[in-house]
Chain A
Amino acid sequence: MSRASTKEPLIHITRRSTIAPWKGIVIRIAAIVVAFLLCSMLAYFLIGAKPADFLINFFQGLFGINRMSANIRLWMLAKDTAILLLIALALTPAFRMKFWNIGAEGQVLISALAAAAVTYYFGDKLAKSEWLLLLLMLAASITAGIIWAVIPAIFKALWNSNETLFTLMMNYVATYFVAFCLVKWTPDSSSVLGILDHGHLPTLGNDYILILIFTLITTVFMFVYLNYSKPGYEISVVGESTRTARYIGINVKKVIIRTMILTGTICGLTGFLLVAALDHSVTATSVGGLGFTAIIVAWLAKFNPFVMILTSLLLAALNQGAGQITSSFSVSTALPDVMIGIILFFVIGCEFFIRYSIHFRKKAHTSVVQEKGDES
Chain B
Amino acid sequence: MLFLDFLINAFAFGITFLYGSTGEIITEKAGHLNLGIPGIMGVGGACGCAALNIMCAAGNLPPWLIVIIGLLAAFAGGALMGLLYSFLTVTLRSNQNVTGLAMTIFGIGLTKYLFYTLAKKPANSETPVIHYLKALDYYRFPFAGQKSSLVYCGIMVFLGIAIAIVASIILTRTRVGLHLRAVGESPATADAAGINVTRYKYVATIIGSGIAALGGLFYIMDYQGSQEAYLSIEAMGWLSVALVIFSLWRPYLSIIGSFVFGALFILASYLPVFGVSVNMATSNLIKTLPYVVTILVLIVTSIINRRENQPPASLGVSYFREDR
Contacts and interface: CB of A to CB of B under 8 A. Distances in A.
A173 B94 contact: no
Contacts of A15: 320, 322-323
Contacts of B299: 155, 159, 161
The main secondary structure of chain B at its interface with chain A is helix
Nearest to A100: B97
Interface in B173-207: none
Interface in A142-159: 155, 159
B60 interface: no
A327 B311 CA distance: 45
A194 interface: no
Contacts of B323: 15
Interface string B285-311: 101100110110011001101000001
Nearest to B268: A176
A14 B321 CA distance: 10
Interface string A318-356: 000000000000011111111011101100110110011
Contacts of A14: 322
Given A165-B294, A334-B116, A342 B106 contact: yes
B272 to A, nearest CB: 15
B281 interface: yes
B54 interface: no
Contact of A348 (B88, B113, B305): B88
Contacts, number: 155
A251 interface: no
Contacts of B111: 334
B88 A295 contact: no
Contacts of A292: 101, 104-105
Interface string B87-130: 01001111101110111111111111100110000000000000
Contacts of A189: 280-281
A180 B285 CA distance: 6
B284 interface: yes
B242 interface: yes
A160 B84 CA distance: 31
Contact of A172 (B103, B107, B235): B235
Interface residues of A, number: 50
Contact of A334 (B113, B303, B311): B113
Nearest to B106: A341
Nearest to A191: B280
Contacts of A162: 245, 298, 302, 311
Interface range for B: 35 or more
Contacts of A296: 98, 101-102
A166 B93 CA distance: 25
The main secondary structure of chain A at its interface with chain B is helix
A169 interface: yes
B112 A334 contact: yes
B302 A155 contact: yes
Contacts of B105: 289, 292-293, 337, 340-341, 344
Contact of B107 (A159, A168, A341, A351): A341
A13 B282 CA distance: 57
A289 B298 CA distance: 24
A179 B238 contact: no
A318 to B, nearest CB: 11
Contacts of B99: 345, 348
A104 B84 CA distance: 27
A332 B112 contact: yes
B288 A299 contact: no
Given A162-B245, A341-B106, A295 B112 contact: no
B288 A176 contact: yes
A349 to B, nearest CB: 5
A25 interface: no
B170 to A, nearest CB: 25
Contacts of B287: 176, 179
A6 interface: no
B32 to A, nearest CB: 14
29 contacts: A15-B320, A15-B323, A160-B302, A161-B299, A161-B302, A162-B245, A164-B33, A165-B241, A173-B295, A176-B285, A179-B284, A179-B287, A183-B280, A189-B280, A295-B98, A296-B102, A331-B116, A332-B117, A334-B109, A334-B112, A334-B113, A335-B113, A336-B109, A337-B109, A340-B106, A341-B106, A345-B88, A351-B92, A352-B94
Interface of A: 13-15, 100, 102, 155, 159-162, 164-166, 168-170, 172-173, 176-177, 179-180, 183-184, 189, 289, 292-293, 295-296, 299, 331-338, 340-342, 344-345, 348-349, 351-352, 355-356
Going nearest first, the 6 A-B pairs with the smallest beta carbon separation are A341-B106, A337-B109, A334-B112, A332-B116, A352-B92, A161-B302
Given A161-B299, A341-B110, A348-B88, 14 more contacts: A102-B97, A162-B245, A166-B298, A169-B238, A169-B292, A176-B287, A180-B285, A183-B284, A337-B106, A338-B106, A344-B102, A345-B88, A348-B94, A352-B94
